[in-house]
Amino acid sequence: MNSILNISTYKFVPLPDAAALRERLLQRANALHLKGTILLAEEGINLFLAGPEWYVRGFVAQLHGDARFADIAPKESWSDTQPFKKMLCKVKREIIRMDHPTIQPARGRAPAVAPATVKRWLDQGHDDNGRPVVTLDTRNDYEVDAGTFNGAIDWRLTKFTEFPQAVRDHKAELEDKTVVSFCTGGIRCEKAAILMHELGLEHVYQIEGGILKYFEEVGGAHYSGGCFVFDERRAVDAELKAAPELVHS
């Protein structure tokens, strides 16, 4: 029986009080017997939490009490066991490290496209203007190996900080195409899509909510394998169920 609710969410929003916020959120999570990871930085919040449904929803309700997080809508999946071993809450320089300080999603995000629209574009082989569509995986190589969109561009990144140079190296290959960038839950693409726009690539989008939202809304169409997740499930399938067998050691 799937009795454990798993949530993931993030938001780029100025958090000058990240250190003090860390103490409050860690105290709340521990009081509710939750496990997982919360990352805080001056640029925002990124979290993965799991526990009994009532406790998880209670934590989210408390989070919504802070006006900065009132619109957060976590992505959900279920498991029959707790996928995290402990509760961690850390303050870092970036909630997703890119080492490119001029990229600040809180000031304005790159255009996003709904999962249903992505599926339709892939079904027809082009966007609504007839422009060829390519999918660009912004994740690390071992994540890609667990599963990705069919025919996705994969630059074999070993860490996200390699992405800016990879774009510069391959920019010519992306020009005159509609680029749909994607990652697990959307956080990397918030930065990746902005960077690509800044480098002069005009038709760049991010999948709203990443692979997990795509699975939730349209299933596994045009996708092979599972989605790597950073907990003991290792990967989830298109039904958002644990699929560790899809990860090859």
List the CATH number of the domain containing 149: 3.40.250.10
Which CATH number goes with the domain that contains 31?
A: 3.30.70.100
Give the pLDDT score at 38: 98
Residues 43 and 138 reside in one and the same domain: no
**Residues 160 and 211 reside in one and the same domain:** yes
The answer to whether residues 122 and 240 belong to one domain is yes
Q: What is the reported pLDDT for 1?
A: 65
86 and 159 in one domain?
no
Verify that 71 and 125 share a domain, yes or no: no
Q: Does 100 map to a domain?
A: no
Interatomic CA distance for residues 57 and 69, integer angstroms: 14
Reported in sequence order, the residue ranges of the chain that DSSP labels E, i.e. its strands, are 4-12, 35-41, 44-52, 75-79, 87-91, 112-113, 133-137, 147-149, 153-154, 178-182, 204-207, 223-225, 227-228, 235-236
Examine residue 99 and state whether it is found in any structural domain, yes or no: no
The DSSP bridge partners found for residue 51 are: 5
Same domain, 30 and 83: yes
Question: DSSP readout, 84-141?
Answer: -SSEEEEE-S-SS--S-TT--GGG-PPPEE-HHHHHHHHHHTB-TTS-BEEEEE-SBH
Does the active-site annotation cover 183? yes
- Give the domain range for residue 154: 105-246
What's the first-to-final CA gap in the chain, in angstroms? 28
Catalytic residue among 89, 183, 189, 227: 183
For the whole model, what pTM was predicted?
0.91
Same domain, 156 and 133: yes
pLDDT of res. 238: 95
* Mean pLDDT in order along the chain per 10 residues (249 residues): 90 96 97 97 96 97 97 93 96 93 84 96 96 97 97 98 97 96 95 94 95 96 96 93 83
Looking from the CA of 91 toward its CB, the CA atoms found within 13 Å total 13
Report the number of distinct structural domains present in the chain.
Answer: 2
Say if 98 falls within a structural domain: no
Domain boundary among 68, 91, 114: 91
Residues 43 and 133 in one domain: no
Residue 190 lies inside a defined structural domain of this protein = yes
Both tokens assigned to 37: 């990871």
Same structural domain, 55 and 130: no
Q: Give the pLDDT score at 107.
A: 84
Q: Which of 57, 91, 125 is the last residue of a domain?
A: 91
Residues 87 and 141 placed together within one structural domain of the fold? no
Q: Are residue 43 and residue 69 in the same domain, yes or no?
A: yes
